[in-house]
Structures are given as C-alpha cells and as structure tokens.
Structure 1
C-alpha cells in the first residue's frame, strides 16, 4: 500500500549530489524515461539536486535538479516522482520546497503537457515552446557553406564571452564542462571571429546537439551538419519552435518530432539573452 498523504508530507527533502547518480537514473527508469546517466552526472555536478528517499529503502521516491545562473535565473529540470507515489501531491510538495529555496530568484523550466497545469498553479507562465526532434541525419538538404572546425583550448574564453552575450547570463560552470562532457565541440567563425558553437554529447543510443548558439540560422545549420558528420548514431535536439526554418530543415534531413514542451518562467517576463541566436539548450533540464 502507498503511504498516506500525511506520512508523505513528513518525509524530509534532502540535497542530491554525484553519489546519488544511480538512484536518479533508477527513478528515471521507473517513470519510463531513459536512464541518461551521463546527463544526470553533469546535472548533479553543475547543479543542486533535491530528493525524497523512499522509506521502504527502494531508492528515491522523488527528485529534481536546479541549475543556477546567479540571481538572474535558475532552471528546474528532471522533476520526477516514482510511479507508486504518483498523483499523491509529492511533486507539488517538492516544487514548493524548491520555490522556497530559490527565494526571489526567477525560475525557468520546460514543461510537458501533463506537468504544465501544476507549474501554472505555482506561478509559471508559458513564454515559448520547444520541439524535440530525433532521427538519422541524412544530409539530403545541404547546409549553407560556413567555416566550422573543432574547438581548441584557446577558443574557450571566446566561446564563454559569446555564450554570455547570447544566453544573457554567466554559465561558465556548464560551458567549461563541455570539452569533457561532449564527444564533439565545434565552432563557426568568420574573419577570425567566432560566430557560433555547438556540442554533440552521448545520451544512451543517440547523440544530442546542444547547446547550439549561432549568429543566424545558416550558421546553426552548418554547425549541425558538421557535428552530424562525426557520428553514426541518431541525432536528437530541442529547437525553439520560433526557429521554423531550422525545424523545417532538420525534418527535411530525416529528423522527426518526438514531442513539444512549454518553455515556462516565473518571476520575470521572459528569458534573458537573445532568443534569435539561441537555437537549442545544452539540455532542457538545465534551461
């Protein structure tokens, strides 16, 4: 029998760290998600996890991760409740705890259709939508010609400056992890200036393109095509639906829509930075 609601309300919420990686992956698997241990490792190292232990000793009954970008924004991701405790108010309790911990810091998240009503109840507003795409990149619709090459250590400070300008906040703690986290990190440049960058990182049997930062859609296409040429795995990426041309190009090259999510924010009117040059997040779990 599941625990009664009063008992659930009394269970402590604790911080999660890298030692909780397998428990988080088990929780993902319990809800029918992929285990995504590689991604969990990054999130737990770069962010702060929150979890509730199952009193039966069977791992976590709920968890999430918050990735902070300073006082201007923090992103909530991987909000999960074990199936046996679903629809008992656990997710709402966990979210209220995270909101209290965040204080005045604005929060963002990507919401599924099922999760969106709860987030609206908690004060989040939809400010956009994202389309998850997956498939084997065919290259049948060529990308525009742009100079794209592997990033070097000397490029990192330039990449950080460009990312800060376009993302709108400092995410050095994530970007500096890309060389170790990703299988490929590539930059686009013109006349000696970096005009975009993108990473390709392994996630189960796919490769994910993200983050994807570029001067314009043509540069974004060139970065994706360059990354796709390095792998024989299916590609996955999350593109803001406002970038209709890029979405259409990806679908012409073999990727298909898996799902869409609502981009939501609380305590500020919109996301910071330049939406026109921000094409895909590193992962929706980190905003």
Structure 2
C-alpha cells in the first residue's frame, strides 16, 4: 500500500542523513522554532536522526536526533511533530521506536513543560533543571582573574580527558568536532594543567556558549567572559539551575532567563559524571 494511504501508526520511520537538514529546519520553523540549520548539520552528522515523511510529500511529519556516547549514555534532542499532525500520537510512536533502538543504553533529554508528561509516561525521570539565558553580555560585573587562552591542537587530548572525567562518558566524536564547529574554543590553564574549556558557536543571530566545563565557578565565569569578548552577537546558554552563582553573575551581565527545561533520564538514577563541574551542555539537543 502506498504510504500516502497508510494510517499514521503505519507510516514508515526512516533514518535521516545530512541531506535532510533543510527538511528538519522546515519542521523546526513549522513549530515556531528557529530553523537552526547549522545545528541540525552537526546533529545529523555526529548523531543519528529519525523521521517520518509526510505522505503528502510536504517534508517531515516528525523528527528527532539521537547522539550516542557509547553504551553508557545517549541523548535525544530536537523532538518535533508537524503542526498538522500534532496530538495524534505520532511523536509518541517515534519516541517508542527510538527507545527500542537504544536497547539497554540509558537515555537523557531536556524536556519542555509541554513534552515532560509524555517522557514521564515513557519511563524518563526528572533529575534536574536548566535555565536558558539570552542577552548581550555587558561586562558590568567582572570575571575572576583566571588564565584563559585560545585552544590549540596540542590541547585536544587534555580536553578530551577532562571532558571524559566530568561528563562521565566518552564523547570524543562530538568534542573533536568543536574546533571546526565553534567560532571560538578557549581553555583555562593553571600550572600547565587545563582546568576547563568552553566554546561559542553560531546559531541564527546569537552565539551559543557550550559546552562549558570547568573545575569551579570562577573558571566558568572567566571562560564565559573571554568568549563574550570575542563576539558582538547576543549570547545564549543553558545552565544547570544548581549553579546559582553563575546564573546570578550572567544576569548581572545582561543575560535574561527565556525558558527553563527539565533534565530527564531513563534507565539510570542520575546522569553520569560530575554536575558540579558541568555548567552547560554543547546544546540541549546533544546533552
């Protein structure tokens, strides 16, 4: 039977590729999100996209991306359903498929208040919250005096070791893309030891700060200030709400809260790694 005549619960789910970037961006725009083609390009290259084609031939009915960090963790992001197919169970069907594909691998995601009830029904538990902040960084409140410099190729192995220790699973395939993906990548260093790193990457009219990994809040602040000085765009980032000193400082420097999300996980009691040194994700779509 042609897919145009199939009921919604029988439309084939397929794997997306980098050739689907524009279709994914169109779907984002359809739901009132920014197109974010640059981010979609990273996610569909570093991760695995899943989607259902609209039987009318008008793009995608639904889509999401799964970024795998090995058997210890995978992140689900960019879960979208076309407006004309909303509230018909198609998003739930895609999520069930993704969960089945993951097998025993624990899954994490950042959920909006609208999506959280569905994820709870699918076995995800709320383990924290993140605050999305946006604005022009105005340097009203100075950062602590911590040595920050641009990252070099020679720093990569040390950055990977630090990230593995703090994030809790190996995300080498994603972190090694940062030098090409980010406009600026900075490291904090003390006594020849790298104590933190952070990047900013372009997303529509903003620069997103992420990931932000640091041994303490002072180091995180210094990394943010260094990156802010390198751009004239507004900044955006998603900070774990437990990092109250950092969020207060960011707000004192011109950023404002625009949303909050729940950090959720399935098949583990909590996220691996050390949240005290994990300040912001590369993007909430990839954990």
TM-score after normalising by structure 1: 0.98
SS in 2 for 1:70: coil
CA shift for structure 1 position 179: 0.5
Residue 15 of structure 1: aligned partner? 15
Superposition pairs of residues 49-128 of structure 1, within 5 angstroms:
49-128=49-128
The answer for unaligned runs of 5 or more in structure 1 is none
TM-score after normalising by structure 2: 0.98
The separation in 1 between residues aligned to 2:41 and 2:170, in whole angstroms, is: 21
Residue 221 of structure 2: aligned partner? 221
Residue 45 of structure 2: aligned partner? 45
CA shift for structure 1 position 6: 7.0
Q: Number of residue pairs matched?
A: 285
Residue 181 of structure 2: aligned partner? 181
In structure 2, the CA distance between the partners of 1:93 and 1:4, relative to structure 1 (3 Å rule), is farther
Alpha-carbon contact 2:4-2:55 (below 8 Å) kept: no
The separation in 1 between residues aligned to 2:17 and 2:214, in whole angstroms, is: 32
In structure 2, the CA distance between the partners of 1:6 and 1:231, relative to structure 1 (3 Å rule), is same
The answer for unaligned runs of 5 or more in structure 2 is none
Superposition pairs of residues 105-254 of structure 1, within 5 angstroms:
105-254=105-254
CA shift for structure 1 position 4: 11
Instruction: Write the deviation string for residues 205-227 of structure 1: whole angstroms up to 9, x where unpaired.
Output: 00000000001000000000000
CA shift for structure 1 position 88: 0.3
CA shift for structure 1 position 73: 0.6
The separation in 1 between residues aligned to 2:262 and 2:60, in whole angstroms, is: 26
Alpha-carbon contact 1:5-1:88 (below 8 Å) kept: no
The separation in 2 between residues aligned to 1:84 and 1:198, in whole angstroms, is: 39
* Alignment root-mean-square deviation, CA: 1.2
The separation in 2 between residues aligned to 1:5 and 1:242, in whole angstroms, is: 50
Alpha-carbon contact 1:92-1:118 (below 8 Å) kept: yes
